[in-house]
Copies of this chain bind each other. A is one copy, B any other.
Amino acid sequence: MDKTNTKEALIASTMELLWERGYVGMSPKAILKHSGVGQGSMYHHFSGKAELAREAIERSAGELLEQAQRQLAAPGTALDKIGAFLERERDVLRGCRIGRLAQDPDISAADTLRQPLAAAFDGLRRLLAGVLAEGVARGELRAALDVEASAELILATLQGGYVLARAANSAQPFESAVRGLQALLQATARD
């Protein structure tokens, strides 16, 4: 349980620091300090900051998708599932591990670093669209509902909610936006 070798410790610390500080705000030295790993080990396992970050980002993206998949697989109507997803426990002020990186200048500039973010959001979008489409098929939601656009709206509400919450230094804007979205979704559920 401690043979969870050095490499894993580096990845775990990098995931943590990317979440806290982003890519430009995170230094290799900080990773070493956080993980307790030495300089030599880091450059033995990874070519440098970028490669380590890439592995950490892919790991985070994978976890995010898995988690969403579990939550959206729960039983209930489409709106039940969406509601559970929206209202799950979140550390709102920390924000989204993936979304916060989208704003990082060095990440959006490097395709190898940006691509995992795009893939993660593509996955989430598909999951949500699937739930909504099923809701339409079962007659829970109006047939006129634009499934793709609604899925994107759900993602945007969450990501934007995090942004507003950080600006306000309060979870309230996030919660308010989510409430606003749910009200509109419920009102349009049926004709």
Contact = CB atoms under 8 A, between A and B. Distances in A.
A9 interface: no
A163 B160 contact: yes
Interface residues of A, number: 55
Contact of A118 (B118, B148, B168, B176): B168
Interface in A89-105: 95, 98-100, 102-105
Given A149-B177, A155-B164, A187-B187, 15 more contacts: A25-B106, A102-B167, A103-B163, A108-B166, A114-B169, A121-B167, A121-B173, A148-B176, A150-B184, A155-B173, A156-B159, A156-B180, A157-B160, A160-B161, A187-B188
Interface of A: 20-22, 24-25, 95, 98-100, 102-106, 108, 114, 117-118, 120-122, 142, 145-146, 148-153, 155-161, 163-164, 166-169, 173-174, 176-177, 179-181, 183-185, 187-188
